[in-house]
Amino acid sequence: MARITSTSQSETESQERLENVVTPTHSVNDAATTGETVLKINGLTRQYEQECAVEEVSLSVSAGELVTLLGPSGCGKTTTLRMIAGLEQPTEGSIQIEDTVVADDSRFIPSEDRDVGLVFQDFALFPHLSVEENITFGIKDWDRTKKAQRADELLELVGLSDHSDKSPDQLSGGQQQRVALARSLAPEPDVLLLDEPFSNLDVRLRIEMREEVRRILKEAGVTAISVTHDQEEALSISDRVAIMNDGHLEQVGKPEEVFENPESRFVASFLGRASFLPGTVLDDMIETEIGNFRTERLNGPLKDYDGADLDILVRPDDLEASSSEGATADGRIVHRQYNGPTFVYQVELHSGSTVRCLHNHAETFEHGQQVSVSLESDHGLAWYPRT
């Protein structure tokens, strides 16, 4: 296990990083079945001289849960993770891990005395140690038999039982990540922190390893917090996603909840390829420039919004374009993106608003072509009052 800041692979640096963070041992497996709170963050704030990197962030994480902090660059994800790790001292607020308050106004328990593990972006494996020695690095002091048993358990968990004597440079990127994960899990930390865990892998491997890492974390029953700016990664691996913006938590929820019911325009814009379709509520109908719909097609009651202007969240799979000319056309194709199996067409409507439409690769429209756009979604659409 470990935690860290730098991305250098040098041996000495790797060793220093790990030695700084060897933690006491503690099992989370019992807690994982009870659903109790393992990590509680309250009003967490980190002020730098010029800037408040994290402001009043509160979050509880249950035993065995995998929560991902997601947000654009500079929104405060890493600072939050570093405060949980004990690498950064909060300016205000508190952090409790299991029954221990590890940071508040009057105390700050340093990283090496917290029961947390960190998986580094660059894996930070020791090149001169074997896979097994890397895995047992944080439990060097354990009794020999117990240590060997733990190593066998973890090698099996991460599917590397046949590679225990190899050195890290004889492993693929995915295998190196498995070793890093096994090493972090070895001392059975209360909380495992994963800092952009897939950023060092190529795109194809990243997708494969997402599922594998989730499987390993779930089988280990560990409580985990991951950090990423990749929405697809966050939505695919997490039990809950915590979306951050400008130092604040914007929304926390299950991936489906935050994707389907974004509570703010920021969350809506950040998840999926969102467009906002302007509309006006008139009785039980919404008038838009691509047609009129019943208000039932939108989420939530709209009875207080009669006459109001709204922006309706539409993603590419909600809309379909069809060839059209003259008065029936809603706009024209201004951009087309070929993705292999699909095309995403961007349509500029007469008002100047743009929306995107997802089509099968066989449905081709030319740049500039006139089209009409229809709403094909079969789920409630989120909306926001026009400001």
Task: Point out which residues bind ligand ATP (CB under 6 A).
Answer: 48, 51, 53, 71, 73-79, 229
Q: How far is the CB of 69 from ligand ATP (least distance, A)?
A: 8
> Any idea which residue has 């059975």 for tokens?
188
Spatial separation of the C-alpha atoms in residues 120 and 197, rounded to whole Å: 7
For residues 87 and 281, which CB has a smaller minimum distance to ligand ATP in the complex? Answer: 87
For residues 73 and 360, which CB has a smaller minimum distance to ligand ATP in the complex? Answer: 73
For residues 28 and 69, which CB has a smaller minimum distance to ligand ATP in the complex? Answer: 69
Q: How far is the CB of 76 from ligand ATP (least distance, A)?
A: 4
Q: How far is the CB of 75 from ligand ATP (least distance, A)?
A: 4
For residues 49 and 162, which CB has a smaller minimum distance to ligand ATP in the complex? Answer: 49
Three-state DSSP string of the chain? CCCCCCCCCCHHHHHHHHHCCCCCCCCCHHHHHHCCEEEEEEEEEEECCCCEEEEEEEEEEECCCEEEEECCCCCCHHHHHHHHHCCCCCCEEEEEECCEEEECCCCECCHHHCCEEEECCCCCCCCCCCHHHHHCHHHCCCCHHHHHHHHHHHHHHCCCHHHCCCCHHHCCHHHHHHHHHHHHHCCCCCEEEEECCCCCCCHHHHHHHHHHHHHHHHHHCCEEEEEECCHHHHHHHCCEEEEEECCEEEEEECHHHHHHCCCCHHHHHHCCCCEEEEEEEECCEEEECCEEEEHHHECCCCHHHCCCEEEEEECHHHEEEEECCHHHCCEEEEEEEECCCEEEEEEEECCCCEEEEEEECCCCCCCCCEEEEEECCCCCECEEECC
Q: How far is the CB of 248 from ligand ATP (least distance, A)?
A: 12
For residues 229 and 359, which CB has a smaller minimum distance to ligand ATP in the complex? Answer: 229
For residues 238 and 295, which CB has a smaller minimum distance to ligand ATP in the complex? Answer: 238
For residues 264 and 369, which CB has a smaller minimum distance to ligand ATP in the complex? Answer: 264
Q: How far is the CB of 206 from ligand ATP (least distance, A)?
A: 16
Q: How far is the CB of 110 from ligand ATP (least distance, A)?
A: 17
For the purposes of burial, counting CB atoms within 10 Å of the CB of 135, is it exposed (0-12), middle (13-18) or buried (19 or more)? buried
Q: How far is the CB of 239 from ligand ATP (least distance, A)?
A: 21
For residues 134 and 238, which CB has a smaller minimum distance to ligand ATP in the complex? Answer: 238
Q: How far is the CB of 116 from ligand ATP (least distance, A)?
A: 17
